[in-house]
Amino acid sequence: ATIFSAIDMAPRDPILGITEAFNADTNPAKINLGVGVYYDDNGKVPLLACVRKAEELLMEQPAPRTYLPIEGLAAYDAAVQELVFGAGSAIIQEKRAVTVQAIGGTGALKIGADFLQRFAPGSEVYISDPSWENHRALFESAGFTVNTYRYYDAATRGVDFAGMLADLKAMPKGAIVLLHACCHNPTGADITAAQWDDVIAAIGAGGLIPFLDMAYQGFGTGIAEDGAVVGKFAAAGGPLLISNSFSKSFSLYGERVGALSVVGASAEEAARLLSQLKRVVRTNYSNPPVHGGKVVALALTTPELRQLWEDELAGMRVRIKEMRNTFVQKLKEKAPAHDFEFVREQVGMFSYSGLTRQQVERLRLEHSIYAVDTGRICVAALNSKNIDRVIDAIAKVL
């Protein structure tokens, strides 16, 4: 026996497990609604034209693959700041924010978690109940105890905002609060602008550390509208961390493009924060990859490509909204006794559909339609060709 022979098998990732089961299903009419990926109306992951054009521009001037700086491509970091805080915002002008390119949104969360573990080691972390599964695991693996605050209310199919606010007010000073900036994953239920004001006030009054995770900017109401909450937090002062991801908004999942931004009280403080963030990056993977960062920086800063991106992202956002409406309308016809109106109000790629574990199981076993056990479906995996089959199957299992 070696030191390895006693190691247990780790539990399977619940979402990737669905994809494995889906791949093994031989039914040609199978449908995977368990994923966290945007598909177009033909059921394909799009290659955005803005990405293809940016890559063509890069190909015209092939460059050697030197190392990037530890904090990533300067043009990328600057473009991220403009997007996240809003072009010309005071935070940028005052140089109070620092941004490091990260390996996707996940990498950004991990850098943030490791950074906080160095400088706020005694703090506990609070995530929404429920949240993206990896939030808990990421912060626990960085050494934190992870708790939840009330968020989703199955009875109203919306946010238990009174519960959320009460939990925020009861958190110990210095606690780290992870918030979904928009398009809450997995529920699709967001809070309103007025409710954000209350959240920001409670966080300020309680001396809490907000960590905004923005993986779906542009999938809710619009790029600026979805990002507005970041500006509100920044204006309120106090420490702030923001992880953002271009996996979905640029359909660049495998290139791993994201960033972590941290806001300090002054330019001088921000410089110290950056020096420490670089240390975290250096000891994790030294520096980020080149290609995705270059593509995104070029697309964000070249006017023609920028316009193309905004149009293509709007196209994805609108198609998801259309699928929500079609889903609700068709279910109204096929299952009039059930009210799915709430699906229209949800935002982003996901919907907590209200389907029970048993119903999800029947969808899988009897119809080869795959969803998450919690009833989460990816609305962005619905299309004009598969929706009727999905609706028929749901009507049968209700």
CA 5/CA 385 separation, integer angstroms? 49
Minimum Å gap between C-beta 137 and ligand PMP is 12
- Binding positions for ligand PMP, 180-199, rule CB under 6 A: 180, 185
Handedness of CA 137, 142, 146, 151 (dihedral sign): negative
Q: Give the contacts of 21 (CB within 8 A, at least 6 positions apart).
A: 364, 370
Minimum Å gap between C-beta 376 and ligand PMP is 11
Nearest in space to 213 (alpha carbons), one of 87, 348, 11, 95: 348
**Residue among 71, 77, 190, 213 that touches ligand PMP (CB under 6 A):** 213
Enter the DSSP assignment of 247. T
For residues 200 and 257, which CB has a smaller minimum distance to ligand PMP in the complex?
257
Q: Is 294 labeled as catalytic in the residue annotation?
A: no
For residues 68 and 242, which CB has a smaller minimum distance to ligand PMP in the complex?
242
What would the DSSP string read from start to end of 355-376? --HHHHHHHHHHH-EE--TTSE
Q: Given the DSSP bridges, would you call strands 209-214 and 176-180 parallel, antiparallel or unpaired?
A: parallel
Minimum Å gap between C-beta 100 and ligand PMP is 14
**Residue among 72, 220, 258, 292 that touches ligand PMP (CB under 6 A):** 258
**Residue among 34, 36, 72, 375 that touches ligand PMP (CB under 6 A):** 36
Catalytic-role residue among 110, 248, 294, 330: 248
Q: Is 278 labeled as catalytic in the residue annotation?
A: no
Q: Is 198 labeled as catalytic in the residue annotation?
A: no
For residues 247 and 368, which CB has a smaller minimum distance to ligand PMP in the complex?
247
Exposure pattern of 229-265 as b/e (b: 16+ CB <10 Å)?
Answer: bbbebbeeebbbbbbbbbbbbbbbbebbbbbbbbbbe
CA 70/CA 100 separation, integer angstroms? 8
Minimum Å gap between C-beta 101 and ligand PMP is 12
For residues 246 and 359, which CB has a smaller minimum distance to ligand PMP in the complex?
246
**Residue among 142, 200, 215, 262 that touches ligand PMP (CB under 6 A):** 215
The binding track of 96-115 with respect to ligand PMP, each residue x by CB under 6 A or -, is: --------xxx---------
Locate 116 and state its tokens. 């906080």
CA neighbours closer than 13 Å in the CB half-sphere of residue 100 = 31
Please confirm whether the linkage preceding 130 is cis (ω < 30° from 0): yes
For residues 123 and 245, which CB has a smaller minimum distance to ligand PMP in the complex?
245
For the chain, the C-alpha Rg in angstroms (whole number) is 21
Minimum Å gap between C-beta 385 and ligand PMP is 25
Number of residues that bind ligand PMP (CB under 6 A): 12
Q: Is 168 exposed, middle or buried (0-12, 13-18, 19+ CB in 10 A)?
A: buried
**Residue among 132, 152, 161, 327 that touches ligand PMP (CB under 6 A):** 132
CA dihedral 303, 308, 314, 317 (to 10 degrees): -120
**Residue among 89, 99, 247, 353 that touches ligand PMP (CB under 6 A):** 247
- What three-state secondary structure class fits 25? coil
Catalytic-role residue among 132, 160, 226, 330: 132
* Residue 245 near ligand PMP by CB under 6 A: yes
Minimum Å gap between C-beta 20 and ligand PMP is 17
Minimum Å gap between C-beta 130 and ligand PMP is 11
Catalytic-role residue among 213, 294, 309, 330: 213
- Give me the residues that bind ligand PMP (CB under 6 A), please: 36, 104-106, 132, 180, 185, 213, 215, 245, 247, 258
Q: Which residues are catalytic?
A: 132, 213, 248
